[in-house]
Each structure stands twice: as C-alpha cells, then as structure tokens.
Amino acid sequence: MSGILQAIRGMSDILPDRTPAWQFVETVVREQLSAYGYREIRLPIVEKTELFKRSIGEVTDIVEKEMYTFTDRNGDSLTLRPEGTAGCVRACIQHGLLHNQVQRLWYAGPMFRHERPQKGRYRQFHQVGVEVFGLQGPDVDAELLLLTARLWRRLGLDGLELQINTLGTSEARAVYRERLVDWLRAREDRLDDDSRRRLATNPLRILDSKNPEVQSLLADAPRLEDHLDAGSKQHFAGLRALLDDAGLAYRINPHLVRGLDYYGRTVFEWVTDRLGAQGTVCAGGRYDALVEWLGGKPTPAAGFALGLERLIALLEDAGAVPPAAVPHVYLVLAGEAAARRGLVLAEQLREAVPGLRILTHCGGGSFKSQFKKADKSGAPLALVLGEDEIGSGQVGIKPLRGQGEQEHVAQDALVARLTELLTEL
Ligand code: ATP
Ligand code: MG
C-alpha cells in the first residue's frame, strides 16, 4: 500500500508562512489579558463525555451531533473538548478555586467539533477563552466587553460590531419558551426542517436561525424582552449604562440567544460582515447557573470565547498582520576551515548581541549559491567567512539590501561594528 496521507478534513496545518500572524495575535492577547489581571489556566484537551453533556446541554447542536467521542481502553467515554468553559469550571471546582474568591482566568488551545467544514468553520479550531467567577454585577460584563474592544484596537482591527442581548433568568425563559412554541406551532408549515426539529428540542435557538424566511417570520413573534424578570432588566440597564459611559458602541439584538444552554442574562457577540456567513469572531455572556450544575456552590460567572481562525482571517483581510521577523544576519561560510570556525563564531555573536537573529549557512557550496540563499533569507546583512578571512583573522560584512560595499573588520572588532550597523537598520 502506498499513497500520500492527508490531514483529517476540517483539521488544518498552520504552515510557517502563517504562524507569524498567529504569534502576533497570541502575544497581543497575552499582554492585554495580563494587563487586566487575568491569569492563564492550562487544561486537558480530553474530558469525560459526561462533563459536556451536563454543561453544554443534551439538546444542543454540539452534544447532539458535533462531539468527537470515543471509548478509551478502560471502557470510559471520553470526548475531545468542543469548547473550554466546561473544563475550566470543572478544574476550578476540583481545585477549590472558587471558595469566596474572585477568579479572572483565560486559556487558549484547540477545540473539536464535527461540523461541515467551510470557510471559517473547521473541525479542529482554536479559541482563546476568558472566564470570570465570583462577580455578579454588570460591571464585570462591561469589563469583558471593554477588554475585547481594546484587543481589537491593539490588533489594528476595526469594523467589528458589538451585539448584546439579555436572556433573563431560566424561569423567565421557560415562560417565554412556552409562548414562543405555541406561536411557532401555529405556523409550523413556514419553518424549515432545522427549526421544526428545534421546536421540540431547543426552541429559543430558532431565533438565531440563519434562514432569511424564518427570520422574516420571526419579526412578529412574541418577544423575549416582554417576558424578562425585573432583576435581569436592571442588570441589562446597568450594563448599557456602563458601556455608554465608556463610549463603547453596541447594538441590541433581541434575537441573539447563543448556542449553549448554560447562558443566562447577558449574552453578546462581536460580528463582522467581512467573513461571509461565519461572521461571529467572539461570543459569550453570563452563565451564573453552570458552576452549581457541575457540582460546585452557586457562583456567578461570565466569559467569552474568541475564534482565532476567524480573527486571523480578518487580520489578513485587513492587511493588519505585521511582517514576519527575518534574520538580521546570514553567515556565509566558504571552505572547510570557515565551516568549522563558523558555528563557533555564530555562538559567540549570539552570546554577545542579545536578540541577534543569525542564520548560519549549513551544507557548504559556492559563494554564489550561498549569497543566493542569503538574499532569499531576507537578512539585511551577510557576514562572510572564506579562506582569505580565516587567513587574515577578519570577517567580511556585506549589506544585502541597497548599494553598500563589502567591508572587512577584525574578528575582535566584529561585535562592536555589527551592533552599530544593526542600530542603523
Ligand atoms: P456558530 O453559530 O458560528 O456555530 P457557536 O455558537 O457554535 O457559533 P461558540 O461555541 O460560541 O460558537 O464559539 C465561540 C467562537 O468560536 C465563535 O464565535 C467562532 O468564532 C468560534 N468557532 C466556533 N465554532 C467554530 C468552528 N467550527 N470553526 C472555527 N471557529 C469556530
Ligand atoms: Mg456552532
């Protein structure tokens, strides 16, 4: 048997040309979260299937049809995490991180969902997740939104729209759900298959339908906001006042419901029209009931997840990815003696010039072929060590961009001259 093996559909390799964009985002995210006092938590990729069934909800798309679930060698049912909140809450309860204390946490990594792969929708994708525990007021909801807005600014992104809504308490939603179902049942012939199925399982998600015909039908449907409890209304008004004070623009989207069961009160999404159908870059909200569902003491909580593939696609689309780092120096080594001296010289330079990026030529070859590689590397300078230089105890320095001439310096003057040239660049 032969043939070239391919990666699994919907699971992408991120090739070196694109990793600078990822590293840029990861660095900015890390800096910003740390500036707001959020601490990183690292969590397993595999959890017990039960965890996701209990937290995400049995009748959600994720648990019904998207999970990568398998039986391990002990006969336990395990699942590749489809999202990070469940595992984060599990870890916080398990390690007693929630007793009378506030936690501001974040994590990043791959998530797995068996969806139909398309632009912006993959089977392995990456999220940055941010979660806050122990704070019940709208101030922390506002903090999460201000933090994301700052993140977009730091990344050089504009044009993202913030949509917010409130789902009320689960009691308020239950009353509304019944009224909505009655209303929709009377118009079932105008629903698509997906919405008809949801009528029995998760009717609120019909509000979120991407089908324009369903959406136009919904324009006259009973409204969740008419069924809200007083506490949730007050919370939402508080959030809006804080966002107004901070000058953060938003749109109230009464049909925003989120795909996961555990949300209540505040929900939000950051949406762009530049990514086609998969326009939600970041989504989250409040989930005050989840800690208790998973066996902890009642603990208010809020958070969001940011989809890195979509965010990076947006950055690339906006031309906001900073250029990749190129080497400062390409070390050309002609002849056996130079090749031997070269590796040691490069180590000495790395020691003496912190942050120096130096690419040492390996594998021999003519001056000409080595200079070709030096050019291709993008380095602004070549250091040249040939037989002549070995004999005279010197090193050649040749600018690779622009017109400059090659110069020679004594090996013990090299660090000083190199530092000078690099600060000019
Ligand atoms: P959608 O309605 O697009 O399926 P969702 O409600 O399932 O989204 P969440 O579970 O809230 O999404 O995930 C948060 C974010 O993670 C999304 O807004 C998106 O940016 C990203 N995301 C979710 N699923 C995928 C996927 N399959 N591929 C790439 N990114 C994804
Ligand atoms: Mg989904």
How do residues 130-172 score in pLDDT, each as one tens digit?
999 999 999 999 999 999 999 999 999 999 999 999 999 988 8
How do residues 363-378 score in pLDDT, each as one tens digit?
999 999 999 999 999 9
pLDDT band at 1 (very low <50, low <70, confident <90, very high): low
Tell me which CATH homologous superfamily contains domain 19-169+229-317: Bira Bifunctional Protein; Domain 2 (3.30.930.10)
Q: So what's the pLDDT on residue 51?
A: 97
Ligand 1: nearest atom to the Cα of 284: 11
**Mean pLDDT along residues 42-71:** 93
**Mean pLDDT along residues 268-276:** 93
Look over the chain and give the mean of its residue pLDDT values, rounded to a whole number.
Answer: 94
Q: So what's the pLDDT on residue 103?
A: 98
User: Cα(389)–Cα(119) distance, rounded to whole angstroms?
Assistant: 54
Report for 121-130, 167-176, 405-414: range of highest mean pLDDT: 121-130
Distances (CA, A) of 324 to 20, 327, 328: 6, 10, 12
Pocket of ligand 1 (CB under 6 A): 83, 113, 115, 120-122, 125, 127, 259, 278, 280-283, 305, 307, 309-310
Task: Give distance in angstroms: CA of 391 to centre of ligand 1.
Answer: 63
Which of 26, 39, 148, 27 lies closest to 91, judged by CA?
Answer: 39
Q: Whose CA is nearest to atom 7 of ligand 1?
A: 259
**Same CATH fold assignment for domains 19-169+229-317 and 329-424:** no
Q: So what's the pLDDT on residue 57?
A: 85
Task: Give distance in angstroms: CA of 417 to centre of ligand 2.
Answer: 56
pLDDT band at 401 (very low <50, low <70, confident <90, very high): confident
Does pLDDT of 403 surpass 90? Answer: no
Per-domain boundaries in the chain = 19-169+229-317, 329-424
Q: So what's the pLDDT on residue 305?
A: 98
Ligand 1: nearest atom to the Cα of 259: 6
How do residues 244-258 score in pLDDT, each as one tens digit?
999 999 999 988 987
Can you tell me which residue has the tokens 């941010």? 130
Q: Whose CA is nearest to atom 4 of ligand 1?
A: 259
How do residues 189-198 score in pLDDT, each as one tens digit?
999 998 998 8
User: Cα(351)–Cα(332) distance, rounded to whole angstroms?
Assistant: 19
For the stretch 237-244, contacts whose Cβ atoms lie closer than 8 Å and that sit 24 or more positions apart, written own/partner, are: 238/137, 238/138, 238/139, 239/138, 239/141, 239/142, 239/164, 239/266, 240/164, 242/138, 242/139, 242/142, 243/142, 243/145, 243/164
Tell me which CATH homologous superfamily contains domain 329-424: Anticodon-binding domain (3.40.50.800)
**Alpha helices, DSSP H, located in 202-307:** 212-218, 230-246, 290-293
Task: Give distance in angstroms: CA of 358 to centre of ligand 1.
Answer: 40
pLDDT band at 114 (very low <50, low <70, confident <90, very high): very high
Counting ligand 1 atoms within 8 A of each CB, the residue from 9, 14, 121, 253 with the most, and so the one to mutate, is 121
Ligand 1: nearest atom to the Cα of 305: 14
